[in-house]
Amino acid sequence: MPITIPKTALGAALTAAALALTSCSGTAGSADPTDIDPEGKIEAREISWLLSRPADGGVITAMEQIAEEYAKDHPGFSLNLITTPDRPSYIQKYETLAAANKLPELFDTDATPFAQKLADQGRMLDVDLLLKDLGLADDYREAALNYQRFDDGELYMVPFEFQLEFFWYNSALLERANVEIPKTLGDFPQLCKDLRAAGVTPIALDGQDQWPLERYLAYYPFRMAGPEYVQDLKNGEAKFADPAGRAAAEWLYELGRAGCFQEDFSSTGYADAQGLFTSGKAAIYNIGTWELANLATDALDPAVRESVDYFTLPTVDGAVTDDNAYVTPSGIGMAVNAQTYDPLVRDFLAYALERYPEVYAATGALSPTTNVETSIPDNATELYAKAVKQADEVGADSAMPWDTQLDPATNTRLQQELTLLVQGDIEPDEFIETMDAALAENSDG
Amino acid sequence: MAELAQTGLGAGRVGQRRRRSPAPSMLPRRSGLSVAIFLVPPLLLYGVAVLLPIVQSLFLSLFSWDGITDMTFVGLDNYAKMFARDDVFWTAFGNALGYLAICLVLQLGGALAVAALLTALPRARELVKTLYLLPAIISTVAIAFLFQRIYSLDPVGPLNQLLAWVGLDGAQTAWLSNVDTVLAAVSVPEGWRFTGLYMLIVYAALIAVPRELEEAARLDGASWWQTFWRIRFPYIRPVWITTTVMATTFALRGFDIPYLLTNGGPGQSSELLTTYMYKTAFVHTDYGYASAISVFIVVECLVAVGLIYLLLRRRDDS
């Protein structure tokens, strides 16, 4: 049933409610985000964590176990995990709750401009200070912490994962087309043409979720101009018309013209895109190590299992970043609500963050810390250990996903225009012009 | 023939008057107070649930507000942006009109055609009615998934498969990725869904048309089309106006299927004002501008309803 009037009404009602709540709660913002060790008695109660992670994933499983352990010594304690794995839905929920000043003790967020505003208002605890005070700061991988930092270097989120994003490929399909893995990004268009000629879909892409295609846009600028380019872009100090932005637009347009992605990529979802690769229809698939359990174990179709391998982000001529620097996110981070922070939250975090790496690494996942070893599952292929080892060889620079960097309005427009660019519905010049205009309009507000 | 139509129409009016006449006796005049007592609570509820949010949207639309920092008064700047600086808004408006047109053709045209055929069906009417109504009771999300499969190109979905079977391989396309087909592709499920519902309404009106009028017309040599157009249709016009208003406002407020199927993409090819407003509010956290768009949607619906009354009423009077 069409629902917009209710939506309009709901939207207005929500904002009105939020307005009323924020105006009432002016006094609640007085908490000190640097007071990481508040005085008082630890009184066990339920604390909540609003998060955006798979319900049966490693983070939630590990944290449930840790919370149970903690509750044994602290009767009355419980950790209420409220997860919304679908990221756009999660962000809406979290931003609406933030507007209503109803965020729980712990909540997930990326280092977005919105989160920066919350931090500026003193609503998030200074995690740099917290980790130092707990004596855990040195355990973390530098890249994992850097990923969570705002542009000014401040840290307000705790990482719970460490992921490497690879280009997984099917060597049998590459052989069939008689092609090698690309050495530079510029090799992709020809590679795609050769694969197409051999009747293979070159790259499986989840276009419906938008962020996978946005990754491709980030690659050229990251290699050509380094990780600062996207920061400059959002601060108005760089333009899409700059050489790095132009190269990215032209490269993506070329990828589209070379038929790199399946024809209906813009309406293909995550599972379907992965299915194209795992069923041996597509030759290349760009995804992170969170899929190790599906791509590097016997869960993978035996028909392709032996052929699957990966390569990391290729370079470009005159690259300013090292080959071992690519997209290495530490996932969405966990922020601590400064307004509800009390001795119990601190005590639980002290226990949980200390215990977490060991429990998490035992599930076969990469810990954001360096003090534990990831256990390789029994059903893993050789690739699993290779990928885990690779984590210790990554550089400190990380290519930031642009969707967490740009303001949401520009980001939405970018994602829309990107699809059109790759589909060949617009030319690179038009893309650049539209995006620079959007950037100017949205940075004014 | 003109006389006949006059008779038909006249009889229709008499019929309506006759139906209306018992009303006063059921609610005697002295119970005006009790009528008010019964009417006020829903009216208050309506005021709080519908009118108040509209007024609040109007108020919010004069501000720039992201939900967490202080609101800034910007006057009419949101409207200036909407009308002058935002090309997406106009694309979305154009798309909304296209969506409306497709939905109306499918819902009203389809409903009238099916209902007219149904009256001619000697048996199994209930079964056919139920079958047509079925999509209206399936959850929207299920319908979106269903159509995602129907439109799919890789793996080949039913629609593209059908085209291949009839030898139209060349017409195969990624219906939801092609900027030329996506708007129609997201409109059709919505139109298809509610055809059955409007068909029921129109059917109920059609079977109320007195048989003797049609028989008289047929005896006078009226063709099927003349009977339909000069007797049946004028008779059901009041119901038709209501149905048109319902279908139009629902289509103008359509949101869920386009949102679920394509989220407005690719590009802005299937972006409607409603999906755009939703994104502006809950993705961009630009509540002020979103409120301005929602005010526009309300005005647009009011204008549409006004136009429908004006056009259909005028024809009625003539």
| pLDDT score at B315 | 60
- pLDDT tens per residue, range A146-196: 999 998 899 999 999 999 999 999 999 999 999 999 999 999 999 999 999
- pLDDT tens per residue, range B120-174: 888 888 898 899 999 988 999 999 999 999 998 877 899 999 999 998 888 888 8
Q: Would you state the structure tokens that stand for residue B235, as one six-digit string?
A: 């008779």
Residues of chain A with pLDDT > 70: what percent? Answer: 93
CA angle A414, A420, A423 (to 5 degrees): 140
Measured CA to CA, the distance from residue B149 to residue A267 in angstroms comes to 10
Architecture (CATH level 2) of domain B2-6+79-317: Orthogonal Bundle (1.10)
CB A156 within 8 A of CB A119: yes
What structural domains does chain A harbor?
38-161+330-375 (3.40.190.10), 165-327+400-444 (3.40.190.10)
CA-based nearest residue to A166, from A369, A347, A383: A383
Tell which of B154, B256, B273 to mutate to test the A interface (max A CBs under 10 Å): B154
CA-based nearest residue to B198, from B286, B135, B263: B135
Residues 369-428 of A with CB under 8 A from B: 407-409, 412-413, 416-417, 419-420, 423, 425-426
Measured CA to CA, the distance from residue B57 to residue A9 in angstroms comes to 8
Residue numbers in B near A5 (CB within 8 A): 50, 253, 298, 301
| In chain B, where the domains are located | 2-6+79-317
| pLDDT score at A398 | 85
**Would you place residue B316 in the very low, low, confident or very high pLDDT band (cuts 50, 70, 90)?**
low
Measured CA to CA, the distance from residue B63 to residue B155 in angstroms comes to 47
Residue B124 region by backbone torsions, left for phi larger than 0, else alpha for psi between -120 and 50, else beta? left
Measured CA to CA, the distance from residue B179 to residue B191 in angstroms comes to 20
Measured CA to CA, the distance from residue A210 to residue A270 in angstroms comes to 10
| pLDDT score at B25 | 52
- Whether A263 and chain B come into contact, CB under 8 Å, resolves to yes
| pLDDT score at B314 | 64
- Whether B56 and chain A come into contact, CB under 8 Å, resolves to yes
ipTM over 0.85 threshold = no
| pLDDT score at A316 | 94
Q: Residue A169: which H helix or E strand, with range?
A: strand A165-170
Instruction: Give residues with Cβ within 8 angstroms of A137, minimum separation 6.
Output: A128, A131
How far is the alpha carbon of B112 from chain A, nearest alpha carbon, in Å?
A: 20
Closest to B177 (Cβ–Cβ): which among A96, A263, A412? A263
- H helix runs in chain B, sequence order: 2-20, 22-26, 32-46, 52-60, 77-80, 87-104, 110-119, 125-137, 140-151, 158-165, 182-207, 211-219, 224-227, 233-252, 256-261, 273-282, 287-317
How far is the alpha carbon of A21 from chain B, nearest alpha carbon, in Å?
A: 11
- Whether A274 and chain B come into contact, CB under 8 Å, resolves to no
- pLDDT tens per residue, range B68-86: 888 999 999 999 999 998 9
- pLDDT tens per residue, range A317-339: 999 999 999 999 999 999 999 99
Nearest CA in chain B to A23: B70
Residues in chain A: 445
CB A83 within 8 A of CB A307: no
**Would you place residue B40 in the very low, low, confident or very high pLDDT band (cuts 50, 70, 90)?**
very high
Q: Would you state the structure tokens that stand for residue A76, as one six-digit string?
A: 């009355």
Per-residue pLDDT, averaged over A203-219, amounts to: 94
Measured CA to CA, the distance from residue A49 to residue A178 in angstroms comes to 50
Lowest mean pLDDT among A338-342, A344-348, B6-10, B235-239: B6-10
Nearest CA in chain B to A434: B87
User: Is it the case that residue A47 has pLDDT exceeding 70?
Assistant: yes
User: Is it the case that residue A445 has pLDDT exceeding 90?
Assistant: no
- Whether A279 and chain B come into contact, CB under 8 Å, resolves to no
Per-residue pLDDT, averaged over B289-307, amounts to: 93
CA angle A88, A120, B76 (to 5 degrees): 70
User: Is it the case that residue A3 has pLDDT exceeding 70?
Assistant: no
Using DSSP, state whether A35 is helix, strand or coil. coil
CB B267 within 8 A of CB B93: no
Cβ-defined contact of A263 to B153 (cutoff 8 Å): yes
